[in-house]
Every structure is written in structure tokens, then in C-alpha cells.
């Protein structure tokens, strides 16, 4: 259908001089030459086999810009919080049990590093799409394309799109195997689950306000209960966690679509690109909302942190190196019994 529309429009634009040998167009002008033909002209040297996945690659590359930008902004929010609480000491925990101390700054910097790492993985995965199959025509054979079409078409498309496109190294591979899209989906899922892990940690540390840890207070965005006055729930971390589940589900769909390709062509491209669009939209939303409505406004409770930090194992680890593990264990248990 698209080639028919383009051919009709091309005929209107390119052949406007009246001539007696061609019929009058509805607009009142006549063609000066043969009308633009949808197959002979518009679709010359092309096949759906190669033009569709090329358009798909360009679409995914363009849409990937938004989640990368959102993840970078989220990392910057964590950097800001790290600087704000650089010297604030908190109790670290392993297996949900007291461990040694670290600073809030170190905690948030680790968040930033993790987000930037997954952002980099997503960017790197998308780069693989710069090798496009345009010119592969049917199956990757190049049949029906005029000599030099592939190189000239890809170079022109690169100039128009702004992407550093190059012809695929192996055209048969480029149409039969779409594992590059699985890599992109997995990179998006890794970013989502990393965000969800951080969100879950902040949700736990904000538990309370009286019966939980309550080391950090998250911004209130809505009432938490219609029956319990004053209750505030960590809805933003929970939003991030839930979107991560949907993203990981969409990534599984991409993986199944990639695996379902048969012989020389994968006809599952529509569900692959549709799922990637969902991944990018959810990833962008999760990172943006998490940064702007949660991380930016969170506050660490200094007195609570200081109180909990008294239970840290720092001194016991030091003592163990001096008097031995068994002797220190006795002293730890005596301390706990009298605390």
C-alpha cells in the first residue's frame, strides 16, 4: 500500500507538464512522462525481506534514545544524593542482618554506577543495528537489485537518518538471525531489574515509620490508605518494580520471537519491534518517575542512622584480628545479651 501511495505522489510531483499522450489527472494537469510505477520505480531493487528489517532497525535506534537519556538522568539524581550525604554513616546489612558500616554517599554512588553500567549495555546493544540488510533483497541473495544499489542506498539512508549505517557483513545472516534484538531486549530488562532492586532496597529502608527501619523517608505522592489516616506507602518504588516485571516479560517475548525465525527469514519481526517499543516506553517512564518523584526528594534520618550504626560489626571485625574469632564471638554475644 505504501509504495502505491508513494508512486501516485511521485507521479504528481515529477510529471507536471501537460502532454496529449497522457490522461488528465484530477488536479487538471497532465503527466510529461510515464507515471511512477510502484514496483518498477518506487520499489526498485528492494524486497520486503530487507526493507522491513532496515526500517525496523532505524525505528529501534531512534526510540532507544529516550530510555538511555532517562537512565542517565536517574544516575545523575543518585550522584546528587551521594554528594549531599557523602559523610553520613549508615549500617550495612548482609542477609538482612547487621554487618559493617558504609556511607550513604557510597550507597548512592553504587546506585549510579549500576544504572550507568546498564545504560551503557543498552547503548552498546543498539549499536549493532547500524549494520543494516538493505540490498539483501530476497533471502540475502541481492537478486533483483542493480549493481551498486546496496552501497549507494545505505550511504544515502545514513546521510538522511544521521546514523552511521553500513551494509550488513553477511546479508543471509542479517535476515535469518535477529539475535541483536534479543540482546537489546535483555539489556533493557537488566536496566529494569537493576532499578527494581534499588527501588526495593529504598522501600525496605523506608519501612515504618515506627515499626520498621525508617532510615530514609521517601517523598509522599498520595495518601496511602482510605481507612488508616496519615499512612503513606512507597508507591514510586512499587511502580518501578511493577514496570520491571512487564519489561522482563516483553523481553521474553522478544527472545521467543527471535528464536521462532525459520530457515532464511524471521517473520516474527512485528512482535519483536512491538515488544521493544513497550520496553523502551516502560523503561523511560520508570527511570524518569523514579528519579524525579522519589530519589530527588528522599531524606535520610541522621539520628536513626546513628542509632542503628551502633550495632555495626566494625569493632568486632577489628577485635577478631587481635584476639581471635572464638573469643570475639563470646564478646559479641555478651554485648547482644545486655543491649
Question: CA–CA separation, 57 vs 53, rounded Å?
Answer: 6
E runs forming strands in the chain? 89-94, 97-103, 131-132, 166-167, 216-217, 299-300
What is the separation of C-alpha 43 from the centre of its chain, rounded to a whole number of angstroms? Answer: 34
C-alpha cell at 9: 505522489
The rounded distance, in Å, linking the Cα atoms of 305 and 192 is 29
**β-strand partners of 216:** 300
Residues 6 or more apart in contact with residue 191 via CB below 8 angstroms: 67, 71, 115, 118, 119, 121, 122, 283, 287
- Other Cβ atoms within 10 Å of 125 Cβ, number: 21
Active-site residues: which are they?
A: 225
Please give the Cα distance from 43 to 37 (Å, whole number): 8
DSSP letter for each residue of 99-144: EEEEEHHHHHHHHHHHHHHHHHHHHHHHHGGGEE-TT-TTTTS-TT
Contact (Cβ atoms closer than 8 angstroms) between residue 23 and residue 34 = no
Amino acid at each position: 500500500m505504501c509504495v502505491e501511495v508513494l508512486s501516485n505522489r511521485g507521479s504528481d510531483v515529477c510529471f507536471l507538464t501537460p502532454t496529449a499522450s497522457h490522461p488528465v489527472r484530477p488536479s487538471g494537469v497532465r503527466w510529461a512522462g510515464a507515471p511512477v510505477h510502484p514496483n518498477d520505480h518506487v520499489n526498485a531493487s528492494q524486497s520486503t525481506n530487507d526493507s522491513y528489517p532496515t526500517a525496523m532497525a532505524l525505528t529501534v535506534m531512534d526510540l532507544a534514545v529516550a530510555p538511555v537519556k532517562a537512565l542517565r538522568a536517574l544516575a545523575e539524581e543518585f550522584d546528587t544524593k551521594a554528594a549531599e550525604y557523602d559523610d553520613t554513616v549508615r549500617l550495612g546489612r548482609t542477609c538482612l542482618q547487621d554487618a559493617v558500616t558504609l556511607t550513604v554517599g557510597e550507597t548512592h554512588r553504587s546506585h549510579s554506577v549500576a544504572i550507568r553500567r546498564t545504560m551503557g549495555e543498552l547503548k552498546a546493544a543498539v549499536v549493532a543495528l547500524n549494520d543494516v540488510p538493505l540490498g539483501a533483497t530476497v533471502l540475502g541473495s541481492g537478486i533483483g537489485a542493480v549493481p551498486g544499489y546496496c552501497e549507494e542506498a545505505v550511504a544515502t539512508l545514513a546521510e538522511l537518518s544521521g546514523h552511521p549505517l553500513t551494509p550488513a557483513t553477511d546479508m543471509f545472516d542479517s535476515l535469518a538471525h535477529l539475535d541483536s534484538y534479543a540482546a537489546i531486549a535483555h539489556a533493557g530488562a537488566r536496566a529494569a531489574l537493576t532499578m527494581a532492586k534499588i527501588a526495593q532496597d529504598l522501600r525496605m529502608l523506608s519501612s515504618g515509620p515506627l515499626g520498621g527501619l525508617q532510615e530514609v523517608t521517601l517523598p509522599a505522592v498520595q495518601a496511602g490508605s482510605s481507612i488508616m489516616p496519615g499512612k503513606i506507602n512507597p508507591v514510586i518504588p512499587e511502580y518501578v518494580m511493577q514496570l520491571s516485571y512487564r519489561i522482563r516479560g516483553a523481553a521474553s517475548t522478544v527472545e521467543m520471537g527471535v528464536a521462532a525465525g525459520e530457515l532464511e527469514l524471521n517473520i516474527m519481526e512485528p512482535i519483536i519491534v512491538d515488544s521493544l517499543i513497550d520496553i523502551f516506553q516502560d523503561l523511560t517512564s520508570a527511570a524518569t518517575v523514579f528519579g524525579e518523584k522519589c530519589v530527588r526528594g528522599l531524606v535520610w534520618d541522621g539520628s536513626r542512622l546513628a542509632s542503628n550504626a551502633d550495632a555495626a560489626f566494625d569493632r568486632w571485625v577489628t577485635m577478631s584480628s587481635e584476639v581471635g574469632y572464638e573469643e570475639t564471638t563470646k564478646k559479641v554475644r555478651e554485648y547482644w545479651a545486655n543491649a
